[in-house]
Amino acid sequence: MTTPTTLFEKLWSAHEVVPETADRPAVLYIDLHLTHEVTSPQAFAVLRSRGLRVRRLDRTVGTMDHSTPTVADELYGRVPIRLESAARQVREFERNCAEFGVELLGIEHPDRGIVHIIGPELGLTQPGKTIVCGDSHTSTHGAFGALAFGIGTTEVGHVMATQCLLQRKPRTLAVNVEGALAPGVTAKDLVLAIIQRLGVGGGTGSVLEYRGATIRGLSMDERMTVCNMSIEAGARAGLVAPDATTFEYLKGRPRAPAGGAWEAAVEGWRGLVTDPGARFDREIAVDAAALAPMITYGTNPGMSVALDQPVPARAGDEVHAKALEYMGLAGGQTMLGQPIQYVFIGSCTNARLSDLRAAAALLRGRRAARGVTLLVVPGSQRIKREAEREGLDRVFLDAGAEWRESGCSMCLGMNGDTVARGAYCVSTSNRNFEGRQGVGARTLLASPLTAAASAIEGRIADPRAFLS
């Protein structure tokens, strides 16, 4: 009799070249290596110094996103890039990809965008694959039933040279979600609530599998938002089993299988589920119907509250006290009504077309409050073009927003898009660490709906007030 196995175990065993021992990690084969300009220079330098080539060019793709300006004049060379460090990374990545023959979605490429957005939208991301990238939020691709995780710069070089990776086998953690999300409560609110529940270290050493009727009811964009932030609970990766929603999303994508190959692929993908009776190392249950819009108040994504709940007061907790001091907040205060100066709608968490549509629906016919800088940055050039075809750019511009070229932008302060010292930014990104959006910047993570509502009010606002 075959022992029931989890989805993770199926993916791991299918790619395990050499099993791990007490003294040595496993050797894992990698199906897709996504690269970008920030974590690749050292890896290319190692290859060059040792006379090595990129082993599988057909499984390696590069895009520019982290350091690229989102202001069109800078991006397309009409004026110099303001940050020399960013300009240098862009130039070096272009040279390295040309020298080693790596496919690059460069500055002018119509498919360029944030690495974790272009992989799925091009059909590079597929169920059953192992996918790595020198970026923490590679877990995004797990929404397709792929085992996807971020790697360090040294490991980027290992994968380039060998198409394999040394890894210890993670544990498994099932996140069982039931109940319907209420109006105004989104996938971003769901994952923030899960991280609050687990804590930023609760998933350490584990792969999370998101399960249950609520997860099955999410769109692919929503599943990607949830899996994207798995790392913020300390997890190695996040997974959702592929289903009809997955197949419908992928069918017809440029890099997805076609014709008979498509039918064969889907047939194989249908088996990528956790078997009935399979055991996880740990399980938690989440009632989605009980959730409200969430927002962070501290300096890690686990420090969040529902909009109508007070900031916790934790006497004697020095880490908590330090976070509140940095944020200029106090235990016991409610986040609703807190004045803000910036709103950022973008990032690999929430810059997909559905995110932009949701924000635009709330902003249509309204304007951002005086004194609020509203920045809207699509996740890819494909998304930008489609949003413009739908007239979403006009909605944002009419609301007083800046509509930019695609890129990581204000998610991290390394491309010229930053928040002023001491200012508050409601951001749809994934990290609220000290200085993440600029020196002294105070980041408040939230959904696109909460971000749009807050832009209108000039203070943290409940989007449900705009939906009634």
Dihedral angle computed from the Cα positions of residues 270, 274, 275 and 280, in that order, rounded to the nearest 10 degrees: 170
Q: What is the pLDDT of residue 2?
A: 84
Give the residue from 109, 133, 167 where a domain finishes.
167
Helix (H, G, I), strand (E, B) or coil at 270: coil
Q: What is the pLDDT of residue 1?
A: 63
CATH number of the domain enclosing 143 = 3.30.499.10
Q: Please state the rounded mean pLDDT for residues 139-145.
A: 98
**Domain span at residue 456?**
296-467
Domain assignment of residue 268, yes or no: no
Helix (H, G, I), strand (E, B) or coil at 414: coil
Asked if the model's pLDDT at residue 281 lies above 90, the reply is: yes
Q: Please state the rounded mean pLDDT for residues 48-69.
A: 97
Asked if the model's pLDDT at residue 384 lies above 70, the reply is: yes
Give the residue from 167, 184, 203 where a domain finishes.
167
Q: Please state the rounded mean pLDDT for residues 16-20.
A: 97
Q: Please state the rounded mean pLDDT for residues 92-110.
A: 97
d(CA 250, CA 267): 14
Asked if the model's pLDDT at residue 159 lies above 70, the reply is: yes
Domain assignment of residue 208, yes or no: no
Phi, psi of 172 (to 5 degrees): -120, 140
Number of domains forming the structure of the chain: 2
Give the residue from 167, 197, 224 where a domain finishes.
167
Q: Please state the rounded mean pLDDT for residues 103-115.
A: 97
Q: Are strands 424-427 and 402-403 parallel, antiparallel or unpaired?
A: unpaired
Q: What is the pLDDT of residue 350?
A: 98
| Residue-wise pLDDT tens digits, 445-462 | 999 999 999 999 999 999
Asked if the model's pLDDT at residue 108 lies above 80, the reply is: yes
- Asked if 16 and 156 sit in the same domain, the reply is yes
| Residue-wise pLDDT tens digits, 174-213 | 999 999 999 999 999 999 999 999 999 999 999 999 999 9
State pTM to two decimals.
Answer: 0.97
Q: Which residues pair with 376 in a beta bridge?
A: 345, 403
Express as a percent the part of the chain with pLDDT over 70. 100
